C-alpha cells in the first residue's frame, strides 16, 4: 500500500470515527493499556533489537536513552493512558448555545478535527501517548516515528491499532508510515490530512513547518525573556531569573534573554549576575551591562561582550544574554522583535507596568512575577499536554486535548424557513442560553 492509499484510508477512518461512541473510546483506552501489558515481553525484545542496532551504528548516549522503552518507562506509559482515560470527554462539549427563535436552538459543540498526522523523532513512549490522545479525542491518526525505533514502533502500532479496533474504533484509525520519503508525500496530502503535529528537535520542527501545506501545530523556538522593571523586588527578581534560566535549561520554556531596566541595573545588576554565575551560567552581556559590571568590579563572572545584534539565540544551556533597556516600551519592542512568541515574563511591583507589558507583548504566554518555567500544560492544569504552540491560530501556548478538537454548529429546528424571517413575518430572538442546558 502506498502513502496516498494509506492516508486515504486514514481519512475514511476519520469520517467513520465521528459515529463512534464515548463508551467505545473509553474502552479502547482500557484495552490498549491491557494489551500493552500483555505485550510487554514482545515490546522489550523489539526495543533491545533497536538499541543493539543503534549502539552498533554509534548513536550518541542521550539518543540511546530516549530510544529505550522498557521497565518503568512502560509502566509510566500505562499510567499515562489511565490518567488520560480519567480526563473529561473533550467531545460534545457545548461551547455556545443560543435561542434564535421559538423552537430554533443553535449550539456550538466540540468535535474531532479528523485526520491528524503526528511525526516525531525516536521516543517510543511518544508514540503510545499520541495514539492514545487521538483515541481519546476521536481523531484518526497517521504516525511516523524515528527510524532508530522502527522495530519497537512496529510492535506498538500493531498492538495499539488492534486493541482500538477490537474496542470499536474504526478500521485504520491508526496507521503508520516508516520512511522519511513518506513524510514528504504525506505533507502534500492537504486534501486528506487536517493537522500535522511534529515533535522533536527545533530543526526537525522547523523543517516540517517549512515543508508542509497542511497546518502545523507546535513550536520550533523558545526564545523566552525575563524583563526586570525599574521597581522589581530584588529578591523576587533574582529567584525568578534563576528559576527561569537554571531550573531546567534544556527546555523551550527556559529563559534565554534577561532584559533589565536601566535604573534597576544601576542598583542591582551585580548581585544578580553573581548569582547567575554562581549557578554556572555563562553570560553574553551587552556593552552597557559590561560597563556597570566593571564599574562595580564584578569578580568571578565569566562573560563575553555581546557586540552583534543576534538576540534570538536559543541556548538551551547554562548561558544567557543580558541587555539593559531604557524603558518598559523598549523591553516590549525588543521582545516582539527578537522573541519567538513563546513565553515572556516581567518582574515589577507595578500593576500598571505589568498590564502594559502583558497587553503589549505578542506572545502565547505572558507572565507577571512568575517564572517562565510555568509555561506547561500540566502546570496550567490542562490535564494532558498535546504540545505547545507558538502559532496564533487554532491553539496558542500549551495545548490540552482541546487542541485536538474543533467545533461544529448544530441547529435544532421545528420546520423553520428563512423566507418567514426575510419577509418580516417572523423575527429572531437571539437569546444566549446556559451552556449546561445544551449538554447532551
User: Scanning residues 338 to 357, which ones bind a copy of itself (CB under 8 A)?
Assistant: 354-356
φ, ψ at 267 (rounded to 5°): -85, -40
Smallest separation (angstroms) from a copy of itself to the CB of 306: 24
Residue from 48, 64, 78, 239 that binds a copy of itself (CB under 8 A)?
239
Residue numbers 117-176 binding a copy of itself by CB under 8 A: none
Smallest separation (angstroms) from a copy of itself to the CB of 394: 4
Residue numbers 362-421 binding a copy of itself by CB under 8 A: 362-371, 373-375, 379-381, 392-394, 396-398, 406-419, 421
Nearer to a copy of itself, 294 or 309 (CB): 309
Nearer to a copy of itself, 278 or 305 (CB): 278
Smallest separation (angstroms) from a copy of itself to the CB of 353: 13
DSSP per-residue codes, 178-230: -SHHHHHHHHH-TTT--EEEEES-HHHHHHHHHH-SS-B-S-S---EEEEE-T
Nearer to a copy of itself, 70 or 333 (CB): 333
Residue from 243, 256, 284, 385 that binds a copy of itself (CB under 8 A)?
243
DSSP per-residue codes, 138-180: T-EEEEE--GGGHHHHHHHHHHHHHHHHHTTPPTTSEEEE-SH
Would you say how long the chain is, in residues? 440
Nearer to a copy of itself, 109 or 155 (CB): 109
C-alpha cell at 104: 430554533
Nearer to a copy of itself, 306 or 342 (CB): 342
User: In angstroms, rounded to a whole number, what is the distance separating the alpha carbons of residues 359 and 339?
Assistant: 15
Which helix (H) or strand (E) element contains residue 13? Answer: helix 3-17
Residue numbers 12-31 binding a copy of itself by CB under 8 A: 14-15, 18-19
User: In whole angstroms, how far apart are CA 376 and each of 83, 228, 345, 367, 371?
Assistant: 17, 22, 14, 13, 11
Nearer to a copy of itself, 223 or 366 (CB): 366
Nearer to a copy of itself, 10 or 124 (CB): 10
User: In angstroms, rounded to a whole number, what is the distance separating the alpha carbons of residues 289 and 306?
Assistant: 10
First to last CA, the chain: 40
State yes or no: residue 334 binds a copy of itself (CB under 8 A). no
Q: Judged by CB under 8 A, how many residues of this single chain contact a copy of itself?
A: 75
Residue numbers 300-319 binding a copy of itself by CB under 8 A: none
Question: Residue 314 contacts by C-beta under 8 Å, 6 or more apart in sequence?
Answer: 202, 221, 222, 223, 252, 256, 340
Amino acid at each position: 500500500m502506498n502513502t496516498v492509499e494509506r492516508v486515504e484510508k486514514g481519512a475514511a477512518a476519520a469520517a467513520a470515527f465521528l459515529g463512534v461512541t464515548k463508551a467505545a473510546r473509553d474502552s479502547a483506552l482500557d484495552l490498549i493499556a491491557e494489551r500493552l501489558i500483555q505485550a510487554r515481553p514482545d515490546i522489550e525484545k523489539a526495543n533491545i533489537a533497536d538499541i543493539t542496532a543503534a549502539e552498533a551504528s554509534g548513536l550518541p548516549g542521550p539518543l540511546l536513552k530516549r530510544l529505550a522503552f522498557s521497565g518503568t518507562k512502560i509502566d509510566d506509559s500505562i499510567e499515562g493512558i489511565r490518567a488520560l482515560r480519567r480526563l473529561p470527554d473533550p467531545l460534545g462539549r457545548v461551547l455556545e448555545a443560543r435561542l434564535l427563535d421559538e423552537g430554533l436552538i443553535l449550539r456550538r459543540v466540540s468535535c474531532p478535527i479528523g485526520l491528524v498526522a503526528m511525526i516525531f523523532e525516536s521516543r517510543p513512549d511518544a508514540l503510545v501517548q499520541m495514539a492514545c490522545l487521538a483515541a481519546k479525542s476521536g481523531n484518526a491518526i497517521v504516525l511516523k516515528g524515528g527510524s532508530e525505533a522502527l522495530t519497537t514502533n512496529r510492535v506498538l502500532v500493531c498492538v495499539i491499532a488492534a486493541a482500538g479496533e477490537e474496542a470499536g474504533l474504526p478500521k485504520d484509525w491508526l496507521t503508520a508510515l516508516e520512511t522519511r520519503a513518506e513524510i514528504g508525500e504525506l505533507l502534500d496530502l492537504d486534501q486528506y490530512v487536517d493537522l500535522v503535529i511534529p515533535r522533536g528537535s527545533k530543526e526537525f520542527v522547523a523543517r516540517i513547518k517549512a515543508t508542509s501545506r497542511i497546518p502545523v501545530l507546535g513550536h520550533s523556538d523558545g526564545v523566552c525573556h525575563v524583563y526586570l522593571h525599574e521597581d522589581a523586588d530584588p529578591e523576587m527578581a533574582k529567584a525568578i531569573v534563576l528559576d527561569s534560566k537554571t531550573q531546567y535549561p534544556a527546555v523551550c520554556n527556559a529563559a534565554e534573554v534577561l532584559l533589565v531596566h536601566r535604573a534597576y541595573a544601576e542598583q542591582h545588576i551585580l548581585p544578580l549576575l553573581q548569582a547567575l554565575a554562581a549557578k554556572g551560567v555563562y553570560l553574553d552581556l551587552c556593552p552597557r551591562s559590561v560597563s556597570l559590571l566593571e564599574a562595580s568590579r564584578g569578580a568571578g563572572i565569566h562573560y563575553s561582550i555581546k557586540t552583534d545584534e543576534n538576540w534570538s539565540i536559543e541556548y538551551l544551556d547554562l548561558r544567557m544574554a543580558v541587555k539593559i533597556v531604557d524603558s518598559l516600551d523598549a523591553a516590549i519592542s525588543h521582545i516582539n522583535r527578537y522573541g519567538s512568541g513563546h513565553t515572556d515574563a516581567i518582574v515589577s511591583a507595578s500593576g500598571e507596568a505589568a498590564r502594559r507589558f502583558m497587553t503589549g507583548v505578542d506572545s502565547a504566554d505572558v507572565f507577571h512575577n512568575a517564572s517562565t518555567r510555568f509555561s506547561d500544560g500540566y502546570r496550567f492544569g490542562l490535564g494532558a499536554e498535546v504540545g505547545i504552540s507558538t502559532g496564533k491560530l487554532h491553539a496558542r501556548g500549551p495545548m490540552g486535548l482541546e487542541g485536538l478538537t474543533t467545533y461544529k454548529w448544530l441547529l435544532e429546528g421545528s420546520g423553520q424557513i428563512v423566507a418567514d424571517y426575510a419577509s418580516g413575518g417572523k423575527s429572531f430572538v437571539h437569546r444566549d442560553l446556559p451552556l449546561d442546558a445544551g449538554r447532551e
